[in-house]
Structure 1
């Protein structure tokens, strides 16, 4: 059995949907905090059990019978995510899982200024110490382009701090590739990187947006502290704004500059490009 955590979230849910196209529903289980939100999976024959990283006993029960477990990384900045992830790894081992897959992050290496990198580095270390086979999926940045670029369609500008090249990746592509791995299409030990094939900057994105819209979309570089102040003024908590600032700092230091061809290989096609995604966003 393949058990997926976080199956009511964006990535986990999309991964389960892709799995249902590849393997029988009775080979899929989900571990979710709220089973009512996963009823649509239960209705299709998926095993649904309650489980939470904060409740190791329930987690072990939800993992029972799993040959593979996909651990979707937590995102609560107030939680001890390293400890929760370590408990989840131990629960998967105790349940007899033969392989653990974990949604890590591109460039999850020591020294990366982007603060979540520390969580992923520590979790990958826990996986390496677990005694079972493991795969860390170092996913490229897969937030929506609206989140990445801000309200550029309304303002005519991409106003963000100084950046560097990054392979902005479609979450749908990541979910499809993750399902392919879980279904046994290919198997990898250790860390692998799944990204769009090309890394681009905000300057590149402004040029692409200009071509697509026939308007001149400006790229405005904001001072780091000005950007943080603007975010706070717009209601974003300062801690969250400063965490995001570390992403810009990492990107302009080149941590996300390398794209990887593996995602395309797993999909058997070219992943969605930023031009494709921008065009879809404009059409919507």
Structure 2
């Protein structure tokens, strides 16, 4: 039995879609805060269970009979450590053979502000003594391609990453890697994977690729971190999201989103999805 937490989210759904290729639906548990959001998975034979990181009593029932669990990191920045600890404790009580956790690239040394909660969670995993594998996911292409239409409309892509290189990959790539680790025949406990795209690029190159594909002028405009946050706020993003994205870009300028180890493509046995492919998809919507 493999339990996927955060199953109604974008990554969770993609992981389950990958698992369904090789694992019987009845052996997959979609654990979600709102089970109604994964009712379509129940129709495919996947077990649907209620699991709320903030309500530890729901986790014991969700993890009943679990052999492996994927802990997809909480979206509630600032609450993550306590929520993740609740999942780790429940996994230990369930006696799971493997707990996989989606962390962030180079969590132990990263300049990203959001890395701190991931680092603390990794430490909690070690202290708990649960057999665990850490999937340190790099940036998703989608973190940037979500703004492609806006960039085309405005003729500009704004950021604070300077000449920093970004080694992102498609969300689906990270989902495939997670499914491979969860179904691997060899023992994954104790492993730490630094997962990132095969290619790296600057945001100037990203803007140039949008311009090339759209046929419209798009330039990269580099701003100080505070100014970029202000642009994001003006675009209607919540304060904590604007803060997170601006900080992440500033950290990218220092190399926080770069990795050339190639672990993701080796794990998948294929190259990671090119950024150009994800831009094409974004432009088609």
The residue aligned with 1:19 is: 19
Specify the alignment match of 2:184 in structure 1. 184
Match of 1:161 in 2: 160
> Unaligned 5+ residue runs, structure 2?
none
Does 1:91 find its partner at 2:90? yes
The alpha-carbon deviation at position 150 of structure 1 amounts to 6.8
Deviations 1:187-224 (A, max 9, x none): 53232112110121112212323333444431211232
Counterpart CA distance in 1 for 2:236 and 2:284 is: 29
Is residue 250 of structure 2 the alignment partner of residue 249 of structure 1? yes
Q: What SS class does the counterpart of residue 101 from structure 2 fall into?
A: strand
Spell out the pairing of 1:107-186 with structure 2 (5 A cutoff): 107-110=106-109, 112-142=110-140, 144=142, 145-147=144-146, 151-163=150-162, 164-184=164-184
Contact kept in structure 2, 1:3 and 1:31, CA below 8 Å: yes
Of residues 84-93 and 189-198 in structure 1, the stretch that sits farther from structure 2 once superposed is 189-198
Deviations 1:222-279 (A, max 9, x none): 2322222222333333333222221012111112221332221222221111112112
TM-score by length of structure 1 reads 0.92
Mapped contact 2:225–2:247 kept (Cα < 8 A): no
* RMSD, aligned CA: 1.9
Cα deviations by residue, 1:38-69 (Å, 9 ceiling, x for unpaired) = 22222222221111111212101110111110
Distance 2:182 2:240 in 1: 35
Query: Which whole-Å CA distance do the structure 2 matches of 1:149 and 1:246 have between them?
Result: 20
Contact (CA 8 Å) 1:168, 1:199: kept in 2 or not? yes
Distance 1:90 1:148 in 2: 38
Instruction: Report the Cα offset of residue 80 of structure 1.
Output: 2.2
Aligned twin of 2:101: 102
Shift, 1:103, TM fit: 0.8
Name the SS of the counterpart of 1:151 in structure 2. helix
